[in-house]
Structure 1
Amino acid sequence: MATNQTVLITGASSGIGFELARCFARDGYRLVLSARHDLEATDQKLKSEFSGLQTVLIPADFSTHEGPAHLYDETKRQGLQIDVLVNDAGFGEAGLFTETDLQKEIGIVHVNVMSLMYLTKVFLHDMVARNSGKIMQLGSVVSFLPNPRQAVYAATKAFVLSLSEALQQELKEQKSEVTITILCPPATETNFFHVAGAENTKVGQSDKADPKDVAEAGYKGLLSGEARVLPTFGAKMNFASSVLFPDSMLAVLMGSQMQEEKK
């Protein structure tokens, strides 16, 4: 499918973000890729797979106040109209809240909440003004579930869900053609668990979803304007559990998955 549209993907250098970049590249989008690290290597990988691919690389650190503003300003400076925004950048931290690193968790809030909110605000304003555009927000199954030993990360993903669902309703009231899709994957085979220090937990040692499958489901849902994408059977079961069982029970179940496996 050939297109003359441009997609901006944050967190594009690995995991689900990289696989989403592959989906868009396959269909001829121009890619604006942003991350803190490894953008050149990512660019080379994509161009070796997709001949004629057009890319723009904009490094940004979303753990700072300046990062998202720099990204938006740079797209304006280069005259780029962003037709699709993918807010993929995010990370987590595992452990008891009383023992985890405060500065790292402040960074998590900056990346997962503040930067996502900023970029959604400025690009959604532009999209509504021209009545055209799509946004994908990376939520999680923990958007619906309290998650002991990953409390801050889960709280940020609950924010993403709440914000995005409210904006979906606002867009309906405005009769706008702009759509927002929330992708809520389960535990996925990325470097998330390594960065979070959760590789030795039960969930970290479990079978996880393939990021290619997650990205493909999210991409299809985005193009069709779906409000929410639960990309695997496991994700659908997690959501069903959040409806059927009280939070107190879910917190016990989720907390058990974050316990370290005994050697």
Structure 2
Amino acid sequence: MADRFAIITGASTGIGFELATLAAKDGYDILVVADEPLIHDAARDFQQFGTSVQAIQADLATIEGVNTVLAATNGRRVDVLCANAGRGLGHGFLDQKVEDWRHVVETNITGTIYLLQRALPDMVARNDGKILVVGSVAGYIPGAFQAVYNGTKAFIDSFTEALRNELKEADGVTISTLMPGPVDTEFFARGDLLDTQVGSDPNKRSAEDVASDGWKAMMRGKPSVFSGWTTKIQGVLANVVPGSVLAERHRKMAEPGSDKQ
């Protein structure tokens, strides 16, 4: 058993899978979590790096799911927490089912901040711990045809900034926010976004590169990082371009059928 322990959520595929790979390569025992059975297949991949790997299938949109994950630590000190689990959802808001947009809100917001509220007290008490929360540049952009998703990421981007300030006296505890743009993962298929310009774009950033940006930022204690220079430009422009203009630009990327335009 290693002397360092990390939890990575949403680790069955995409950014979470790559973060778990980096953690295991760096010598961390890992607890990996997802809401699908594929997490057990992913865990077998992580075992090649020689550290302890534990996999949990749990719904991180629920308080019970988060509690299940924390109980699986058996009281072990958590050195690193990568809160990556998230859900996307495309189409116009009025066309979305209540249960679908609620799942996005409860996964991206409720489950994430409850996990942090449970994990942080021990870190603060010993003045040591690193957290990476996956936000998004989407949180800076009014997301026409992804209104709920972008809204949840706006919450996460804002929440983590505020939380860093609240905990600024806990010098050994760092909270880093990773803000990617479009990433080549299953996100777009799961969010029913494949018939959009952004979903069909072949030039998305790789999950491996995005995870690497986030892991390095967390290890250095950086407060936040935009993954990729184009994403950073988007973040900068979002502070000066009117919201109505940003929403119209987003519409052109995310409206169903925009992949044909």
Mapping of 1:189-228 within 5 angstroms?
Answer: 189-206=184-201, 207-228=203-224
In the alignment, which residue of structure 2 is the partner of 1:39? 39
Mapping of 1:156-235 within 5 angstroms?
Answer: 156-172=152-168, 174-206=169-201, 207-235=203-231
1:66-122 CA-to-partner distances (Å, cap 9, x unmatched) read: 1112212332xx232111111000011100000112101111111100000100101
> Match of 1:198, SS?
coil
Q: How far apart in 2 are the matches of 1:113 and 1:92? A: 12
User: 1:195 corresponds to which letter in structure 2?
Assistant: R
Contact 1:65 1:110 in 2 (8 A): no
> Match of 2:239, SS?
helix
TM-score w.r.t. length of structure 2? 0.95
1:149 maps to 2:148: no
Q: How far apart in 2 are the matches of 1:143 and 1:124? A: 23
1:216-254 CA-to-partner distances (Å, cap 9, x unmatched) read: 111100000001111101211110111221111111111
User: 1:183 corresponds to which letter in structure 2?
Assistant: L
Q: Structure 1 residue aligned with 2:124, among 128, 140, 156?
A: 128
Q: CA deviation at 1:175?
A: 4.1
In the alignment, which residue of structure 1 is the partner of 2:59? 61
Contact 2:3 2:28 in 1 (8 A): yes
Q: How far apart in 1 are the matches of 2:8 and 2:69? A: 11
User: 2:193 corresponds to which letter in structure 1?
Assistant: A
Q: Which sections of structure 2, spanning at least 5 residues, go unmatched?
A: none
In the alignment, which residue of structure 1 is the partner of 2:9? 10
In the alignment, which residue of structure 2 is the partner of 1:258? 254
> Match of 2:177, SS?
strand
In the alignment, which residue of structure 2 is the partner of 1:19? 18
Q: CA deviation at 1:177?
A: 1.6
Q: How far apart in 1 are the matches of 2:176 and 2:24? A: 19
> Match of 1:33, SS?
strand
Q: How far apart in 1 are the matches of 2:225 and 2:26? A: 20
Richer in strand (by share)? 2
Q: How far apart in 2 are the matches of 1:252 and 1:204? A: 17
User: 2:63 corresponds to which letter in structure 1?
Assistant: H
Q: Percent identity?
A: 36
Contact 2:46 2:53 in 1 (8 A): no
1:140 maps to 2:136: yes
Q: How far apart in 2 are the matches of 1:17 and 1:240? A: 26
Question: How many residue pairs align between the two structures?
Answer: 256
Extract structure 1 runs of 4+ deviating beyond 6 A.
none
In the alignment, which residue of structure 1 is the partner of 2:83? 87
Q: How far apart in 1 are the matches of 2:200 and 2:103? A: 25
User: 2:81 corresponds to which letter in structure 1?
Assistant: L
Q: How far apart in 1 are the matches of 2:61 and 2:200? A: 28
